[in-house]
Structure 1
Amino acid sequence: MAQDMTLLWGSGSPPCWRVMIALEEKKLQGYNSRLLSFDKMEHKSQQVLDINPRGQVPSFKHGNVVVNESYAACFYLESRFKSQGTKLIPDGPEEQALMYQRMFEGLSLYDKLSAVIFYDYYVPEGERLESALKRNTETLVTELKLWEGYLEKLGSGSYLAGKDFTMTDVVVFPTVATAFRFGLSAGRYPKLGAYHALMKERPSIKASWPPHWLENLKGQDTLKDI
């Protein structure tokens, strides 16, 4: 069944990584994996546009079914292969509600992180303001402290929505990992640091770890002082 799947992706892209983790957790190894270069603008190639007219990755196709939005693709895989691999959506109403709440809150974390680490990329040089970056950084710190509090309340060894690994971890962990890749301090954010360490040992995470991160272990220090 995985042979009928094609994923076009870019290394280090949290949206792409979400889908890759979901595929691993649902035991769907063996899909057609095509790594594209952002530097060469391959995500704007005709190969991508044929699947995703937005010219973005991930671009995901299963047979004749196309699902390009990362959250949608992850939900599709869980729904289509519900009885296979890891159960990503809990049955209990309280557990399910918390899972949905945290996974969609993850979009806020992703946006606030991107506003800091990709500030120079998104904002033209002549429009950049130190005050805007400072404000974005303060907003990110507030968000990170919120997630620290969530994990503290759940207790040691917890995932983002409880004691069990869920869809929340599939879609939010890539954002957390990106924060640490850009220098976030585990000493300053110990609960997030412990969660990051816990997740790095999971087989699906090891199997999908961004290749260019493996080639260059150092990362960047953009967040080292926040």
Structure 2
Amino acid sequence: MAENMFLYWGSGSVPCWKAMIALEEKGFSGYKNKLISFDNNEMKGEDVLKLNPRGEVPTFTDGDVVVNESSAICEYLESTYKDKGTQLIPSSTKQRALVLQRMNEAVANLMHKMLLDYIYEFMETKEEDMNPDTVARKTQNLKDELNRWNDYLGKTGAYLAGPDFTMADVYFFPFIGFGVRVGLNLDSFPAMKSYYERLSSRSSIKASWPPHWKESPGSFKPLIGKM
């Protein structure tokens, strides 16, 4: 089945990493793929645009089925290949409800409070142009958000939604991995630190780890490291 799949992806992209973890968890190691260069704007190339008019990655095909958007790819893989690899959405109604909540909670909150409102904004703003009050407010917002997730992990134990690895972890881990890459110090979030260290050695995560991260240390250390 993996031989019929193709993924366009970019190294270090949280959405791409999410889709790649799901592919590994469902047992599709060896799927065909193309690593695109963000620096060269390759996501706007003809091969991607003919499948994804937005010119974004991840872009995924499974035979003649085209699936764009990382969450759609993850949910497609689980629903289409439910009996393959890891069951990422539990069959128990109560457990499934919690997994679905955590999945959507991660996207809705961490995408904005960590990536858009914090890391990306400060990456693109010179330090002398930063408003101290704005920095303090956004830092506190992010710290409050991370404390919430740390509390979740403290209550559930091994994984985000209980004793088993689920789609909630597929969605959540890339945000934390990216945060650590750019300077997030997890010492203030002990449950999250333990979670990060443990999952970093999980086979699906190791196999999909952004390759350029293996070759070079993080080059940007934002204010997030000062929490």
Judge same fold: TM > 0.5, yes or no.
yes
Q: For 1:46, give the aligned amino acid.
A: E
CA distance in 2, matches of 1:53, 1:82: 29
CA distance in 2, matches of 1:51, 1:129: 41
Contact preservation (8 Å) 1:26, 1:85: yes
3-state SS in 1 of match to 2:187: coil
**Paired residue total:** 224
| Aligned-residue offset at 1:217 | 3.1
CA distance in 2, matches of 1:40, 1:124: 24
Q: 1:132 to 1:45 in 2, by over 3 A?
A: farther
Q: 2:225 matched to 1:224?
A: yes
Contact preservation (8 Å) 1:119, 1:133: no
State how 1:100-119 maps to structure 2 within 5 Å: 100-107=100-107, 108-114=109-115, 115-119=117-121
3-state SS in 1 of match to 2:68: coil
Q: 2:143 matched to 1:136?
A: no
State how 1:14-163 maps to structure 2 within 5 Å: 14-107=14-107, 108-114=109-115, 115-120=117-122, 129-155=131-157, 158-163=158-163
CA distance in 1, matches of 2:126, 2:8: 28
| Aligned-residue offset at 1:94 | 1.4
Task: Supply the RMSD in Å over aligned alpha carbons.
Answer: 2.0
3-state SS in 1 of match to 2:150: helix
3-state SS in 2 of match to 1:38: coil
CA distance in 2, matches of 1:218, 1:63: 37
Q: 1:130 to 1:53 in 2, by over 3 A?
A: farther
Give CA deviations for 1:41-82 in whole Å, capped at 9, x if unaligned: 111111111111111110111111111111110010011111
| Aligned-residue offset at 1:184 | 1.5
Segments of structure 2 that go 5 or more residues without pairing to the other structure are: none
CA distance in 2, matches of 1:225, 1:176: 16
Q: For 2:113, give the aligned amino acid.
A: K
Contact preservation (8 Å) 2:8, 2:59: yes
Contact preservation (8 Å) 2:2, 2:28: yes
Contact preservation (8 Å) 2:18, 2:70: yes
| Aligned-residue offset at 1:123 | 7.1
CA distance in 1, matches of 2:67, 2:60: 5
Segments of structure 1 that go 5 or more residues without pairing to the other structure are: none
3-state SS in 2 of match to 1:8: strand
Q: 2:174 matched to 1:164?
A: no
Contact preservation (8 Å) 1:106, 1:172: yes
TM-score, length of structure 1 as denominator length: 0.92
| Aligned-residue offset at 1:109 | 1.3
CA distance in 2, matches of 1:58, 1:81: 19
Q: 1:124 to 1:218 in 2, by over 3 A?
A: closer
TM-score, length of structure 2 as denominator length: 0.92
| Aligned-residue offset at 1:132 | 3.3
